[in-house]
Amino acid sequence: MQTIAERFTTIHERIRKTELENNRPAGSVRLLAVTKKKPVADIRAAFESGQSDFGENYLQDALPKIEALSPLPLCWHFIGRLQANKTRPVAGYFDWVHSLDRLRIAQRLSDQRPPNLKPLNVCIQVNLDNEDSKAGVPPEAVAELALAVQALPNLQLRGLTALPRPETDPQKQRQAFRHLRELLETLAAEGLPLDTLSMGTSSDFEAAIAEGATIVRIGTTLFGPR
């Protein structure tokens, strides 16, 4: 069985290879290690391998890990569905939120961001397929929300994120990611200074990189099955 360090090396090699194949600058894609249901020891092992960005889905699981690893220079990303009654700890303990889909949540995060911290980096989650089971803003509503979020004082709107319907065909994977990239490009053309496409997971991150991903979320491939 491979160690976390060995898996980390393999994933980075795949990311760099895909960057090269798609004429992306080396190092333009950031690896976000998804540590949902993983112990502190696994996070520490990934950090010792060179990983600094970690993503958590559930606040109640994340906060003890953040506290336990507070001496380490880690960057914490909240990637799960965010309820209004959970915004205060997210605003206080995380560096990024990738699942923003309502203005009310954005306003609460801005209001509750501690004044001693930098603005909270946020990505708007887009429901590309209008699936009832998924959170996210319909594509046609993204621009209105983006403009409102951009005006909030303690948030920094960085870009868009999406979790498309699973596909095994790389071309179908790319089609969904292309749609998200085109949405970002439209917003950028309207004057929003966006630089982040958070898309792609263990099963499709190479297709995401081919379409412009700047952050890919890897959990199972790095840490093994949950």
Tens-place pLDDT, residues 48-96? 999 999 999 999 999 999 999 999 999 999 999 999 999 999 999 999 9
Q: Rounded to an integer, what distance in angstroms lies between the CA atom of residue 25 and that of residue 173?
A: 22
Structure confidence by residue, pLDDT tens digits, 12-59: 999 999 999 999 999 999 999 999 999 999 999 999 999 999 999 999
The share of the chain scoring above pLDDT 90, in percent, equals: 93
Contact 5, 44 (CB under 8 A): no
Contact 185, 196 (CB under 8 A): no
Residue 226: which pLDDT band, with cuts at 50, 70 and 90? low
Per domain, the residue ranges of the chain are 4-223
Residue 215 φ/ψ, nearest 5 degrees: -135, 130
What's the confidence (pLDDT) of residue 225?
75
Determine the average pLDDT of the residues in 172-182.
96
Alpha-carbon Rg for the chain, nearest whole angstrom, is: 17
Q: Quick count: other Cβ atoms within 10 Å of Cβ 22? A: 14
* Largest interatomic CA distance in the chain: 49
Residue 135: which pLDDT band, with cuts at 50, 70 and 90? confident
What's the confidence (pLDDT) of residue 131?
74
Instruction: Domain 4-223: give its CATH superfamily.
Output: Alanine racemase (3.20.20.10)
Residue 139: which pLDDT band, with cuts at 50, 70 and 90? very high
Determine the average pLDDT of the residues in 206-218.
97
Residues forming a β-bridge with 31? 216
Q: Quick count: other Cβ atoms within 10 Å of Cβ 147? A: 14
What's the confidence (pLDDT) of residue 125?
97
| SS3 at position 216 | strand
Structure confidence by residue, pLDDT tens digits, 180-199: 999 999 999 999 999 999 99
Structure confidence by residue, pLDDT tens digits, 150-171: 999 999 999 999 999 889 999 9
Residue 202 DSSP code: T
Q: Rounded to an integer, what distance in angstroms lies between the CA atom of residue 125 and that of residue 100?
A: 6
In angstroms, the Cα distances linking 109 to 33, 55, 67, 73, 225 are 23, 18, 20, 22, 32
pTM to 2 decimals?
0.96
